[in-house]
């Protein structure tokens, strides 16, 4: 028996005619193959024919004075034709098809677990540098490479790994404990070296081989307490631990402009909004940047989170600019001297590990619209700095 | 080709082109080849025109599954098959 071809399609039609059997015989005599002839009543039948025979059926039914009613059109081509008549639906279906192919191979949600001290944002930034970003391809995610890069960039981490499931990537990290940081497996020997030039004033050694004495002038980088101890037959290794104070000399030059602007009363405030999608920034304002230098800028970024705690790469950005009235004027020499001295002292104390300024030889001079402070400072400070020695196993050392 | 062979060949051709071939599969399916049209069709009986007269198929829930110039297939519960010569 012949089968209906599903590609061009087939039509189910209801024929009502006074001589319905005569019409059927006429149809078959004209080469139309009828399928599933259903008896409705003495005058009506329902038949299924190939779509290409429809025109012939139309002509013959008209010739016999029969009424023809199409019940349904089935098959591949008729369905495609119907879809082509609805372009929006077609585009939508194509879009879904493309997304179905695209989405499962991409990462859209990135989470971090196991971190307590290292900020999640920093880990995500490093991960983004390694290629784990919004929309990254899953097959390019290499856990080993990622681990190496994370450990290299973030020394506080002891271990890192990445697990992907669907569109989610979870970066699991383990931070180093304080004990881990003190004794790294690669640095089992450490010495104390001078962080800068100076004359040693006091030397308290808890561990290690002392190589300096009080009153000795040392240069930056010179080993003061060694982690290696020569015992004749063998060499002992240890972590050198010492507190070495030295007299150091620092030359400093600080410059301040003569014309100064003082922040006055608040003038006006302006709020701007923007939307960040991935790396794209969509601004909802015309001009960008501050209006002038006399305004403060408050920047707030709020990301969208899913109920599971996964952060979507969509953020609203709110920038508030507050303008102030500025009072301009010249900086008096006395004030300039005090300000520069204060700044220099603060800067020096911050730059020292631990210590104090013993004496200072300062000179403040106005020069071409600026105040310049030139000073020579004598400080008493800790110059001992731990230097980890590369520990080589026995086999490698030979 | 002798006369006997010629007569035999002509008869075979006539048999294949003109005479109806009826094939009954159990009680549920009937295939008729070389029919000459449907005379009437109802779920209980179907009358088919053949070369030598009429063929009446009786039964229940009879349905014409396929109908073309040469073939005709009937499905349903077939209870009787009657041949009426001219």
Mean pLDDT, to the nearest integer, of A223-231?
86
Q: Are the beta carbons of A168 and A112 closer than 8 angstroms?
A: no
Sign of CA dihedral A266, A270, A271, A276: negative
Nearest C-alpha of chain B: how many angstroms from A59?
18
Q: What is the ipTM of this complex?
A: 0.79
Q: Which residues of chain B have pLDDT under 70?
A: 1-4, 7-17
Q: Per-residue pLDDT tens for A69-88?
A: 999 888 888 888 888 888 89
pLDDT class for A303, splitting at 50, 70, 90?
confident
Average pLDDT, chain A: 84
Is residue A239 predicted with pLDDT exceeding 90?
Answer: no
In a mutational test of the A interface, the residue from B30, B36, B38, B65 whose CB has the highest number of chain A CBs within 10 Å is B38
Nearest C-alpha of chain A: how many angstroms from B5?
33
Q: Do the chains contact at B38 and A39, CB–CB below 8 Å? A: no
Smallest Cβ distance to B37: which of A25, A38, A42? Answer: A25
Instruction: Please work out, in degrees rounded to the nearest 5, the angle formed at the alpha carbon of residue A247 by the alpha carbons of A242 and A248.
Output: 105
Q: Per-residue pLDDT tens for A276-287?
A: 888 788 888 877
Q: Are the beta carbons of A131 and A107 closer than 8 angstroms?
A: no
pLDDT score at B5: 73
pLDDT class for A290, splitting at 50, 70, 90?
low
Radius of gyration of chain A (CA): 42
Written as one string, the DSSP assignment of A335-346 is HHHHHHHHHHHH
pLDDT score at A353: 81
Is residue A175 predicted with pLDDT exceeding 50?
Answer: yes
Q: Do the chains contact at A33 and B42, CB–CB below 8 Å? A: no
Smallest Cβ distance to B69: which of A1, A21, A28? Answer: A28
pLDDT score at B3: 67
Q: Per-residue pLDDT tens for A105-147?
A: 888 888 888 888 888 888 888 888 888 888 888 877 877 888 8
pLDDT score at B78: 94
Sign of CA dihedral A196, A201, A207, A208: positive
Written as one string, the DSSP assignment of A278-295 is TTEEEESSSS-S-SSTTE
Radius of gyration of chain B (CA): 15
Q: Which residue of chain B has the CA closest to A34? A: B67
Three-class DSSP category at B53: strand
pLDDT score at A3: 67
Which is more confidently placed, A110 or A393? A110
pLDDT score at A130: 80
pLDDT score at A397: 42
Percent of chain A whose predicted confidence (pLDDT) is above 90 = 15
B-contacting residues in A 18-57 (Cβ below 8 Å)? 21, 24-25, 28-29, 31, 33-39, 42, 45
pLDDT score at A396: 45
pLDDT score at A78: 83
The dihedrals phi and psi of A196, each to the nearest 5 degrees, come to: -155, 170
CB-based contact, A325 to chain B, within 8 Å? no
Is residue A223 predicted with pLDDT exceeding 80?
Answer: yes
pLDDT score at B12: 62
Mean pLDDT, to the nearest integer, of A312-339?
82
């Amino acid at each position: 028996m012949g089968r209906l071809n599903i590609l061009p399609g087939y039509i189910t039609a209801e024929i009502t005619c006074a001589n319905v059997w005569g019409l059927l015989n006429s149809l078959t005599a004209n080469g139309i193959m009828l399928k599933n002839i259903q008896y409705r009543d003495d005058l009506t039948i329902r038949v299924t024919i190939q779509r290409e025979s429809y025109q012939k059926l139309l002509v013959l039914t008209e010739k016999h004075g029969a009424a023809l009613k199409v019940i349904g059109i089935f098959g591949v081509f008729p369905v495609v034709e119907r879809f082509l008549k609805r372009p929006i639906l077609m585009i939508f279906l194509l879009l879904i098809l493309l997304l179905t192919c695209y989405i499962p191979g991409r990462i859209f949600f990135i989470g971090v677990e196991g971190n307590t001290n290292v900020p999640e944002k920093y880990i995500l930034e490093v991960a983004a540098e390694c290629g784990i970003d919004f929309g990254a391809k899953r097959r390019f995610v290499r856990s080993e490479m990622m681990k190496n890069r994370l450990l290299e960039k973030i020394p506080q981490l002891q271990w890192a790994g990445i697990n992907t499931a669907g569109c989610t990537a979870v970066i699991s990290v383990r931070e180093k404990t304080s004990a881990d940081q003190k004794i790294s497996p690669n640095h089992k020997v450490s010495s104390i070296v001078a962080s800068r030039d100076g004359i040693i004033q006091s030397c308290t050694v808890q561990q290690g081989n002392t190589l300096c004495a009080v009153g000795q002038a040392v240069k930056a980088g010179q080993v003061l307490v060694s982690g290696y101890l020569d015992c004749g037959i063998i060499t002992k290794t240890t972590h050198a631990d010492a507190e070495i104070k030295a007299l150091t000399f620092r030359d400093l030059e600080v410059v301040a402009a003569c014309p100064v602007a003082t922040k006055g009363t608040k003038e006006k405030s302006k709020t701007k909004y923007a939307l960040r999608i991935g790396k794209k920034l969509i601004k909802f304002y015309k001009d960008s940047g501050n209006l002038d230098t006399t305004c403060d800028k408050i920047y707030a970024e709020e990301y969208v989170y899913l109920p599971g705690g996964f952060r979507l790469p969509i953020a609203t950005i709110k920038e508030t600019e507050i303008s102030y009235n500025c009072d301009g004027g010249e900086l008096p020499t006395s004030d300039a001297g005090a300000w520069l001295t204060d700044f220099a002292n603060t800067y020096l104390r911050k730059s020292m590990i631990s210590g104090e300024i013993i004496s200072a030889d300062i000179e403040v001079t106005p020069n071409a619209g600026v105040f310049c402070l030139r000073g020579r400072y004598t400080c008493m400070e800790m110059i001992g700095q731990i230097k980890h020695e590369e520990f080589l196993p026995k086999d490698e050392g030979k | 080709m002798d006369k006997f062979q010629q007569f035999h060949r002509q008869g075979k051709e006539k048999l294949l082109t003109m005479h109806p071939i009826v094939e009954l599969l159990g009680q549920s399916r009937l295939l008729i080849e070389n029919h000459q049209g449907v005379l009437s069709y109802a779920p209980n009986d179907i009358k088919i025109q053949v070369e030598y007269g009429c063929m009446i198929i009786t039964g229940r829930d009879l349905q014409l599954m396929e109908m073309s110039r040469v073939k005709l297939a009937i499905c349903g519960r077939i209870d009787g098959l009657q041949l009426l010569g001219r």
